[in-house]
Amino acid sequence: MSGSPEAAFQLAELAPSDLAGLCLGVIGAVLVLGGAYFASVLINKDPREISGGQKLTAVALLLSGLLLSIAGLSGALWEELAELEPPARFGETPKLVSPSQSFNNLLANARVDRLIRLIVWKPNEPQSRLDQLKSLGKDGQAYTLVADYDEMRGRTAAEAARLFGASVEDGDRVSAIIFRREPRRITPVSAIGLLQTVAEVDAKLDAGKKLGIEERLSTIALTALQLGQDRPALDVWAWSTYGANYPDYCKLAQEFRCDPNYAAHAELGQIDANWHPLGFSERVPAVKEPCGKDADEKFCPITDPKSIWPSLAPYYGARIFYIKNEPLTAIDGRALVDFDLPDIQRIPSLDLGEAAAAK
């Protein structure tokens, strides 16, 4: 399960349909050169000897040549650059999704169709076999974390796990559960998504300390959470929709994160130190103390994430989502992949209809 990057496009390998464009470009270049030469001849003549027709001829040659060159070249390039990248075949290494593109996907809450759950096994763990996994997440938890498979495939298993927020050391094994999202619902684990999930868990608790979201937020911020709606529109989690309320969401999410006495932690698991309230896992921690004052001051006053991307890029890992935990037997078409050499083996490009063969 390894591969090597390949060039996506080569301009030298133009399709026959591009030859007309190249011909136009060549003709245009010839006309431009001819017009330039004719214009240079006219410049050296006495202006009184130059007729209006000669001036028009020079201008016409230059303009028509320039237009043909632009049309021909842009046509050929457009055919190459606008062509959709063919899907990677089984086992091939696909074109990697860049961190900046993943971050743009996060801010827009771009649609996710395929998911991946990554598990790191330490050498001394008694249960370090893929076939011993019984459920998507940890036993006893109602939710678990997943990432966008299409943003992870093609990377080494170790790199993908680190982007997911895990620590991978020499001798560790990595396992992956890959499956289609439909018909399941996922929630981005941004500050807004965390509060929505906590509210859902709190509503089912009979005892224990609750966050009390309904009493802690303004009417506008609370309404924007759309609590109780089964499937809100995707743009609920887009920055353009919830960004104005982000500082309030972030402060309350940080409070939940940093107080282990809230009962919902038992259902959600610990919010690790490498979680960023914008909704991504950090491949390296952005702050030393995620529950300190410095963290609140760094995480919560954000008003324009795109403008601070250069400062986020060194820490950015992958966008992450909550999904309800369930038995693996309930997930049709799943792929279970074990990596015993995670620094070398890559997350493969799979047709999930053939998942059973991808072990």
End-to-end C-alpha distance for the chain, whole angstroms: 10
What is the span of the domain harbouring residue 27?
16-81
One domain for residues 321 and 180: yes
In a domain, 4, yes or no: no
Look up residue 83 and give its two tokens.
């062509």
One domain for residues 196 and 257: yes
Instruction: Mark out the alpha helices in 124-218 (DSSP H runs).
Output: 149-152, 157-163, 191-202, 213-216
One domain for residues 144 and 259: yes
In a domain, 218, yes or no: yes
- Cβ neighbour number for residue 199 with a 10 Å cutoff: 19
User: In sequence order, which residues have a C-beta less than 8 Å from that of residue 5 and are 6 or more positions away?
Assistant: 93, 96
Q: What is the pLDDT of residue 2?
A: 35
In a domain, 222, yes or no: yes
What pairing do the DSSP bridges indicate for beta strands 143-148 and 335-339? unpaired
- Tell me if the bond preceding 183 is cis, omega within 30° of 0: yes
pLDDT in tens, the chain (359 residues): 333 332 222 223 333 434 455 555 667 666 656 656 656 665 666 565 666 666 676 566 667 656 656 655 544 443 333 333 344 344 455 689 999 999 999 999 999 999 999 999 988 766 556 667 889 998 889 999 999 999 999 999 999 999 999 999 999 999 999 999 999 999 999 999 999 999 999 999 988 999 999 999 999 999 999 998 777 889 999 999 999 999 999 999 999 999 999 999 999 976 788 999 999 999 999 998 999 888 999 999 999 999 999 999 999 999 999 999 999 999 998 999 999 999 999 999 988 764 443 33
Q: Which residues sit opposite 242 in a β-bridge?
A: none
One domain for residues 28 and 125: no
Q: What is the pLDDT of residue 355?
A: 44
In a domain, 196, yes or no: yes
Q: Hey, which bits of 61-126 come out as E strands?
A: 114-121
One domain for residues 35 and 165: no
Q: Which of 119, 111, 254, 263 is nearest to 194 (CA)?
A: 254
Of the three residues 47, 81, 115, the one that is the final residue of a domain is 81
One domain for residues 214 and 349: yes
Of the three residues 81, 103, 135, the one that is the final residue of a domain is 81
One domain for residues 68 and 102: no
Number of domains in the chain: 2
In a domain, 109, yes or no: yes
One domain for residues 145 and 60: no
Helix (H, G, I), strand (E, B) or coil at 3: coil
One domain for residues 56 and 119: no
In a domain, 86, yes or no: no
In whole angstroms, what is the distance from residue 46 CA to residue 304 CA? 62
Burial class for 109, CB neighbours closer than 10 Å (0-12, 13-18, 19+): buried
One domain for residues 108 and 30: no
One domain for residues 299 and 349: yes
Q: What is the pLDDT of residue 132?
A: 74
Of the three residues 81, 116, 137, the one that is the final residue of a domain is 81
Contact 238, 188 (CB under 8 A): no
- Cβ neighbour number for residue 32 with a 10 Å cutoff: 19
In whole angstroms, what is the distance from residue 24 CA to residue 19 CA? 9
One domain for residues 151 and 116: yes
In whole angstroms, what is the distance from residue 173 CA to residue 196 CA? 33
Taking the mean position of all CA atoms in its chain, how far away is CA 65?
43
In a domain, 87, yes or no: no
- Cβ neighbour number for residue 258 with a 10 Å cutoff: 15
Q: What is the pLDDT of residue 27?
A: 74
Backbone angles phi, psi at 268, to 5 degrees: -100, -20
In a domain, 9, yes or no: no
